[in-house]
Amino acid sequence: MTVPAVQGDQAASPDRSAAARHLLRRAAAPGPDGLVCGIDPTSAGWDWTTFHVYRLSPGQRVTRAADEMERLLLVLEGHVAITVGERDLGVQGSRESVFDGPPPPVVLVEPGLTVEITAQTEALVGVAAAPGGDVRRTALIPAGDILVESRGEGNTARRIHHLLPPGAQAGRLIAFEVFTPGGNWSSYPPHKHDTENPPVEARLEELYYYKFAKPAQGFAFARVYTPDRGLDEAMTPMDGDLVLVPEGYHPVGVPAGYDCYYLNIMAGPNRAWYFTLDPDHAWLMNWSPAAPQATQET
């Protein structure tokens, strides 16, 4: 596979208005293979990140052939058996719902290995991928090894699961789960990471996969906007939807009564998480990315 070149310092956006119309991807009923939503670089209009979510019935199987992609397997709900190459990782799963508390087990798969996932119960599985980087590692990260962070305070308080943080050994992928109580704000203050200028900022594509404690009517407000407002889109993702962030600031607001979960997947030319706050709102910063506040809450 040819690794994409960095398109200048900032994410390329030749037609921002056209791109904005496709930032919100609505969930669908499970297809024959269990697929409920997904994107790849072609459908997303970017360079690095692939992501698919499957709602599986017992016995259903998801496979990936060996190629030059690094993969991240996330057992979001239920239990599945996982085989990577010749290695049997057994049955993995830690919760029946994303809102049950503990993080999910995480399986990082280096390029060049096959993947087979077989549902043992009803299961929700996410599969992220990006072109392999310099670090090539296969690892099972159990739920108990994942840092749980309390971030923010008051109406910006939320809980973060560091599934595959920037400090982890991996080639390109970064992943977090975020739990935001109804009435609170998240991904806050607004920040962006679309310019390759380390250590000030790193270019990272990002996606948000949403779930709600009340799935039939739950929703959030998501805004994606660039400093020059050439892209300025407000969206209302609902249960199972994806929001893409190819560039720009991207805060999330959650209406009262609708506790929100989202999974963040990021990838870019280099594996680093440096971001720039919107200067208009930087005064609201009340947490440190360098010193996450661990919590015992699960």
pLDDT in tens, 98-146: 999 899 999 999 999 999 999 999 999 999 999 999 999 999 999 999 9
Helix, coil or strand: residue 180: strand
Which tops the pLDDT comparison, 172 or 291?
172
Q: What is the mean pLDDT of residues 196-200?
A: 94
Q: What is the mean pLDDT of residues 258-275?
A: 96
Helix, coil or strand: residue 154: helix
Q: What is the mean pLDDT of residues 211-234?
A: 97
Return d(Cα 43, Cα 53) in angstroms, integer: 15
Q: Is the pLDDT of residue 225 over 90?
A: yes
Nearest partner of 212 among 180, 175, 184, 244, judged by Cα: 180
- What pLDDT score was predicted for residue 9? 41
- What pLDDT score was predicted for residue 278? 96
- What pLDDT score was predicted for residue 15? 54
Lowest mean pLDDT among 17-21, 77-81, 198-202: 17-21
User: CA dist 57 to 1, 20, 52, 61, 289, Å?
Assistant: 33, 34, 16, 9, 38
Confidence class of residue 4 from pLDDT cuts 50, 70 and 90?
very low
- What pLDDT score was predicted for residue 218? 98
Contact 50, 40 (CB under 8 A): yes
Across the beta sheet with 35-39, the strand order is 35-39, 50-56, 123-131, 69-77, 106-109, 139-141
Contact 274, 247 (CB under 8 A): no
- What pLDDT score was predicted for residue 234? 96
Give me the chain's average pLDDT, please: 92
H or E stretch including 175? strand 174-180
Q: Is the pLDDT of residue 238 over 50?
A: yes
Which tops the pLDDT comparison, 290 or 235?
235
pTM here is 0.92
Contact 147, 87 (CB under 8 A): no
Q: What is the mean pLDDT of residues 244-261?
A: 98
Confidence class of residue 295 from pLDDT cuts 50, 70 and 90?
confident
Q: Is the pLDDT of residue 5 over 50?
A: no
Helix, coil or strand: residue 144: helix
Q: What is the 3-state secondary structure (H, E, C) of 193-239?
A: CCECECCCECCCEEEEEEEECCCCCCECEEEEECCCCCCEEEECCEC
Percent of all residues in the chain with a pLDDT value above 70, rounded to a whole number:
92
Q: Cα 164–6–134 angle (5° rounding)?
A: 45
Confidence class of residue 177 from pLDDT cuts 50, 70 and 90?
very high
